[in-house]
Structure 1
């Protein structure tokens, strides 16, 4: 089977290490786990490897968050990957820091990256992995929160959360979404 694992984020040093780029951070660790490097290709940075007899493509869209769907649709078509074999990894302010949740479908929840994917794929029914970045911010400062760097007290816990996220991605690739949801949705840092 073929899989496309997409980490949402924004390209550039300005956004590196921000909450909004947790998708990129998790993909970097997945690639490291499989000794696979990213290369610049059309509409994104791509890393490929084989795991459990499956062909895996990791994608970090280079379109910025608001046009992520364009990159996802392109690589799904180019690699001939079925909708149920994609996994979109994104930040979520509605989940407490460190909690993650896998879902088979759902709304964008106001997330521009997910909204773009819904628009370009013309569906809300695709697997997604939401990593909680918390909502510890004053009203009206949501953008500053998600585009902000991790607080010092979050860094150590973040490392553990990213490790568990990599295990969840590996489970998705090996066992599928249903088992992975059952095994991982209740885990906390």
Structure 2
């Protein structure tokens, strides 16, 4: 189907994909840079034994909160890009919704400020948010891998590998002793950022191709 100008209404919009791809990558940079900055300024923080969540409470909580909000924005931008450049069937749609829900969960994690401070008053939902993140960060890459593989076979392999790594590392994090759970959580964070970065790079590349008229 074409519009009044003769352009296909189904064509991928290059600058939209370029913007959303860039925002997805920015979200990953925000999360990694914010974590590094927070653990530098928070006194006495042990990055091996102390979790990222511990950085989100106390005097310097704003650094980790901003990092989380930036990552949430990157997740939502990736969901929007995936919805625009829809590359699959129902599985792809499940992945789009999973990415959007992940963005919402990360915002709630940052906003609740109940992590890392021993808060036990009222309704404490942090552990349920963690479970939600665990399930959705597994569902998103697995449900979208086939769609990516249609035009980007190497990306399909990468997403499946990252999903397997997540499936192995997530339970290990929950069972890890407190002496190393900070290190385990950072490993999971890098896997999550890698998932988003891989997807965002594809959408950036598709934006460039659309600008050149190759999509």
Quickly name the TM-score band, shorter chain normalised.
under 0.3
Q: Which entry has the higher C-alpha Rg, 1 or 2?
A: 2
| TM-score, normalised with respect to structure 1 | 0.26
| TM-score, normalised with respect to structure 2 | 0.24
Higher helix residue share = 2
